[in-house]
Every structure is written in C-alpha cells, then in structure tokens.
Copies of this chain bind each other. A is one copy, B any other.
Amino acid sequence: MTQVAVLLFNDFETLDVFGPVELFGRLKQHYHILFYSLEGGLVKNYHGVAVNTSKLEELKNGAGIFLIPGGYGTRVEVNNATLLDLIKSVSMQSEFVHTVCTGSALLAKTGLLNGIKATSNKRAFDWVITQGPNVNWVRKARWTKDEKYYTSAGVSAGMDMTLGFLCDRHGIEFARKTAFEIEYNWIEDMEEDDFYEQ
C-alpha cells in the first residue's frame, strides 16, 4: 500500500489535485490518499472548494508519493520559507515526488530540481523558470520524469502524468484499463503536447 500525500495551500488549483486523486483513489488496493498543509485544518481555494488537512510536519518521514499541485497560491507560497523548507525535507524523504502545473515552481525553489528535467503550465512558464534557473526545464512536454521526480504541464496534464506513473509501475495494460474506467482519453506519449506554441 503506497501512501499518496497531497500538499494543499490556499488557492490550489482544483483539478491539479482531484485529477490524480480520482486515479489513485479508485485503486484502493494499491494507494491511500491523505491531505496535508503547513498549518493543518481547512484549506480553501477560489473555486469554493475546502478540504480538511493534517499538518505537513507529521509527514517528516516522507510518503510513497508526495504530490504538489499548482494554482494561483503558488505565487504566494514561493516566498513562504517555512513551507519551502518542509517541502524540501518531505520530498527528500519521499520515494517519489509528483508536481502538477505550477507545483514545479515550489519544488524548483527548494533546489531539489537542479539539473533535473521538469515542466510546468504553459502560460506560467516564464515565471516558473525564474524559480529555478538551474532546472533542466522542458517547455514542450505533457509530462517529464527524471530520477524520482515526475512533473506535468498545466492542470489536466496531471492526469496523463499519473497514468504515465501507473504505467511505469504497473504496466501499460493496467494504466489503459484505469483510463478506460473513467472514460478518459489518455495521452500516452509524454512528449505529445498539443498546447506548446513556438
């Protein structure tokens, strides 16, 4: 049983979180989901979604998968040194770290992505790369994987990345079956990126 620890902060992006949660959540025999935030308690976003969380410091031993979403909140949190320190230590202790959308900006800011391939939201890309000048940023990608780090493009791409992770771990038929069950047209090729504009 792999624990999926989802980081939340105010103004996280709804689908960045609940796309992967739909996929991991339905695989009850393999994955167990828990939500965390810096302070614990109810975390809200501007879509009107509020989720109850545990304190991130309880995760000091890391998780099987540490999932960092994006959203407008990242613009604030890249300046939150306390949160960044905890993101860094939890990420170092975790078996895998997944970021969706501008979640890669938070991870980049910790320094852990230096020399690592990563991607992010297309429309926020120029801002994201300023958070980690030494990251090997890949502008045209649905998602990237490098060592234990998976990073996806914007919002919906988190689902393709999660299915890509399920493929790497459980095989292509398992991933295709999971996508089929939610009637999702999985983009299987991590380099296929319809949203890249030169």
Contact = CB atoms under 8 A, between A and B. Distances in A.
Interface of A: 13-15, 17-19, 21-22, 24-26, 28, 32-35, 42, 45-52, 121-123, 153-157, 180-185, 187, 194-195
A21 B25 contact: no
The complex is assembled from copies of this chain, and their number is: 2
6 contacts: A15-B182, A26-B47, A35-B48, A50-B52, A156-B182, A180-B195
Contact of A18 (B14, B28, B35, B182): B14
Nearest to A23: B15
A21 B49 contact: yes
A32 B48 contact: yes
B153 A183 contact: yes
Contact of A25 (B49, B180, B181, B185): B49
Nearest to A15: B22
A120 B19 CA distance: 20
